[in-house]
Structure 1
Amino acid sequence: MGYKILTLSPGSTSTKVALFDDTKEIFRLNVTHPAEELAKFDQAADQFDYRKQVILDALAEQGVGLEEIDAYSGYCGSMGPTVGGIFAIDDTVCDHVMNAGVNHPAILGAPLLHALAQVHGKPAYAVNQPDTDELNDVARITGYPGVYRKSHVHCLNQKECAIRCATEMGKTYEEGTFIVAHVGGGLSVACHDHGRMVDTNDVLEGSGPFAPNRSGDVPLKPVVKLAFSGEHTKKEIDGVIGKTGGLVGLVGTDDARQIDARIEQGDEWAKICYEAMAYQVAKAIGAFATVLKGKVDGIVLTGGVSHDPFFVNYVTERVKWIAPIKVYAGDFEMDALAAGAVRALNGEEGVMTYTGEPSWKGFTMEGAIPEA
């Protein structure tokens, strides 16, 4: 028998819980939290005891006790920009995330893991945490002084799929160069250069290809005009950027299956909009090939939309000349958390100590404009 790894991912209305034997899944749960229960808490941080008990109850229903767990690994929000890799979760991590001023349940990832792990003195890990930022400095510069690009990307699934692609090719992740496109509700395309994610779009702040429910890059002046027209609130405009733009705004749905059905029924508008998203993904992949000077070992398509042959075929036809294409459709975040813990326990990857110091603090050279 291998190591028993418990993985967690706290979301807005549910907590994902999974148990692995090494990297083999034993069970996976998505424990939903009723709105009336969450309404009892003013802040996400106040949900700690509630979520902890929910997790313990879920494990008890599966007949699993904490004494059986060898290590814990999870989705840990608000650690701030760090390099990618594996961090030991300790008091420093927990204090930082709980006092980061962020009101989202993702901040509970590290404290929950730490509390559970301490019961029997087991290790807890944050693996390729969501605020990982490894961008090259040159990738940060924009033409608007004081506005710099940061990395907000599907880091955990991006890196896991790049690792899988490298393994299939007989390489390690650190030996290869990969371009990964994750297309789910959000969409991120990232350039992986010998173990570092050196360039990407920003899925939170509105850059890159448009996504099923996010606007991506748009011409700036029309948006500025809308913002100052007095006809739209900041919340409405932010909503289009991050929730109701993209395919949702264009065709009324972010469900690729529904769009495929409409295309089959002759809906030309649905077809051109869906093709436009795939077109922009292919264009981003081509752009990142220049970052790697054309030396790309593999192109990876992942995320829920990568289940769709229409989307995959459209992108493949445009980028297959660059490098071999691997498709890992779906979301492998829980698997990635378990795999990271196993690498840490086996000594295959070093475990870092978290200091709270950001991996990027802004440009400090003479002439740099302070961040807006």
Structure 2
Amino acid sequence: MTATRVLVLNSGSSSVKYQLLDMRDSSRLAMGLVERIGEESSRLKHTPLTDGGASRERTGPIPDHDAALKAVAAELAADGLGLDSPELAAIGHRVVHGGQSFTHPTVVDDTVLAEIERLIPVAPLHNPANLTGIRTARALRPDLPQVAVFDTAFHTTMPESAARYAIDVETADAHRIRRYGFHGTSHAYVSRATAELLGRDPAEVNVIVLHLGNGASASAVEGGRCVDTSMGLTPLEGLVMGTRSGDVDPAVIFHLMRVGGMSTDEIDTLLNKKSGLIGLCGDNDMREIRRRVDEGDERAKLAFDIYIHRLKKYIGAYCAVLGRVDAVTFTAGVGENAAPVREAAVAGLEGLGLAVDDELNAVRSGEPRLISPAGARVAVAVVPTDEELEIATQTYALVAI
């Protein structure tokens, strides 16, 4: 029997998201979430996706990731999908930061683990949790290939002119300071899916991808290769996000230290957790912000306008970077569901060939679709992202050789 199943794990500091897929047809067999790991109120929600199975929930203490993955394995086994199944080909792990070392999905060994650990200083919130998930999975199935799929990998094709900051080269190299970009699995999947929607070869299509969720990033994709992206050394740079500031003058940090008396940790918390939409208007849910805008709330309107202004700047910049744009594609929670954001983002950009059809834009659908008028010079699309499928696809392509 040929093994065709891939388990995708996304390990956070206190959570594990998972999906089990059959790569013969990319179908999902099960999915779930373990959250609040390490607390008395830990919660596991498991959903089998075959034969109309109902979701199951359990609450109670799950002390660590080892216990969490064992609990996941037990739930899968209850559905006949256990980790000991000979049909399981590999486990694919989302790893946020691969630096310059990892440009493709990689089978994990001790050397790979050591390099991911060495990158912790540039991804202190994410890589430790990703490592924990990998180590735990290896312990449970030491015979099975564990594959790391890196958020940064898709962006490693950026030219040095886009990846380098204009600071002293020796200092930058000594501390691995450069623009890495994130959400790479999403940008890879969506740019390729956009080309398919247009009925064209991805190698022939130039796409601006707008991944708009609580975290948000833009990318310029030229013939299937990323040539620029909005996030940088960390996921803080770029667009206005739910709780992150995006682009700010670096001297703001010095000003807050010298004049505001704030510590580096306080500024880090300010820019990452208390800024963006929540810092501007107290809400980071775009649905609530739009409700407030419609009711005449000036603070919410200003937050929305700042969000859109930054988005338009990046669209315009990436039109310049690419030279020719075939499509602008919206994805992720806000991008897929917030029609007012899509409308506002391209309003006034008719000179760049961008426009949306009001009726098409208002349609809610889980399918890839065009929302630009017929015959538009540049297609405007909505493509639901599928990072888990992208991780599973890359993982299976590596181990099925």
Shift of 1:99: 5.6
1:304 counterpart (333, 336, 344): 333
1:108 counterpart (132, 141, 157): 132
Partner of 2:7: 6
Matched, 1:97 2:116: yes
Shift of 1:51: 4.0
Partner of 1:138: 161
| Identical amino acids, percent of aligned pairs | 26
2:100 counterpart (56, 81, 100): 81
Partner of 1:64: 81
Task: Describe the shift of the 1:226–1:162 C-alpha distance in structure 2 as closer, same or farther (beyond 3 A).
Answer: same
Task: Describe the shift of the 1:140–1:71 C-alpha distance in structure 2 as closer, same or farther (beyond 3 A).
Answer: closer
- Does the Cα contact within 8 Å between 2:192 and 2:224 map onto a contact in 1? no
SS of the residue 1:340 aligns to? helix
Partner of 1:229: 259
CA distance in structure 2 between the aligned counterparts of 1:101 and 1:93, rounded to whole angstroms: 13
Shift of 1:19: 1.0
CA distance in structure 2 between the aligned counterparts of 1:222 and 1:100, rounded to whole angstroms: 27
Matched, 1:199 2:228: yes
TM-score (normalizing by structure 1): 0.80
Matched, 1:55 2:38: no
- What is the CA deviation profile of residues 263-287 of structure 1, one whole-angstrom value per residue up to 9, with x for unaligned ones? 1211122113212212211220210
RMSD: 2.9
SS of the residue 1:133 aligns to? helix
TM-score (normalizing by structure 2): 0.74
Shift of 1:137: 0.7
CA distance in structure 2 between the aligned counterparts of 1:219 and 1:129, rounded to whole angstroms: 26
SS of the residue 1:208 aligns to? coil
Letter in 2 for 1:60: A
SS of the residue 1:211 aligns to? coil
CA distance in structure 2 between the aligned counterparts of 1:167 and 1:123, rounded to whole angstroms: 31
CA distance in structure 2 between the aligned counterparts of 1:153 and 1:161, rounded to whole angstroms: 14
- What is the CA deviation profile of residues 169-195 of structure 1, one whole-angstrom value per residue up to 9, with x for unaligned ones? 233434432211111122111112233
User: Higher relative contact order by CA 8 Å / sep ≥ 6: 1 or 2?
Assistant: 1
CA distance in structure 2 between the aligned counterparts of 1:176 and 1:244, rounded to whole angstroms: 38
Compare 141-150 and 84-93 and name the one that shifted more: 141-150
Partner of 1:248: 278
Shift of 1:38: 11
2:291 counterpart (237, 248, 261): 261
Letter in 2 for 1:8: L
5+ residue gaps, structure 2? 43-62, 355-377
CA distance in structure 1 between the aligned counterparts of 2:95 and 2:165, rounded to whole angstroms: 29
SS of the residue 2:194 aligns to? helix
Partner of 1:273: 303
Matched, 1:169 2:224: no
Partner of 1:351: none
- What is the CA deviation profile of residues 192-246 of structure 1, one whole-angstrom value per residue up to 9, with x for unaligned ones? 2233222112262642222121111123444422221253221121122222111
CA distance in structure 2 between the aligned counterparts of 1:165 and 1:113, rounded to whole angstroms: 34
SS of the residue 1:212 aligns to? coil
- Does the Cα contact within 8 Å between 2:74 and 2:82 map onto a contact in 1? no
CA distance in structure 1 between the aligned counterparts of 2:103 and 2:205, rounded to whole angstroms: 16
1:157 counterpart (178, 186, 201): 186
Shift of 1:324: 0.9
- Does the Cα contact within 8 Å between 1:83 and 1:134 map onto a contact in 2? no
Shift of 1:305: 1.2
What is the count of residue pairs matched by the alignment? 337
CA distance in structure 1 between the aligned counterparts of 2:89 and 2:96, rounded to whole angstroms: 23
Partner of 1:368: none
Letter in 2 for 1:139: A
Partner of 2:389: 335
- Does the Cα contact within 8 Å between 2:3 and 2:88 map onto a contact in 1? no
- What is the CA deviation profile of residues 36-82 of structure 1, one whole-angstrom value per residue up to 9, with x for unaligned ones? 3799xxxxxx9553344233233224331221312322202454334
Letter in 1 for 2:66: D
Matched, 1:238 2:238: no
CA distance in structure 1 between the aligned counterparts of 2:134 and 2:200, rounded to whole angstroms: 31
5+ residue gaps, structure 1? 40-45, 348-372
- Does the Cα contact within 8 Å between 1:212 and 1:254 map onto a contact in 2? yes
CA distance in structure 2 between the aligned counterparts of 1:108 and 1:268, rounded to whole angstroms: 45
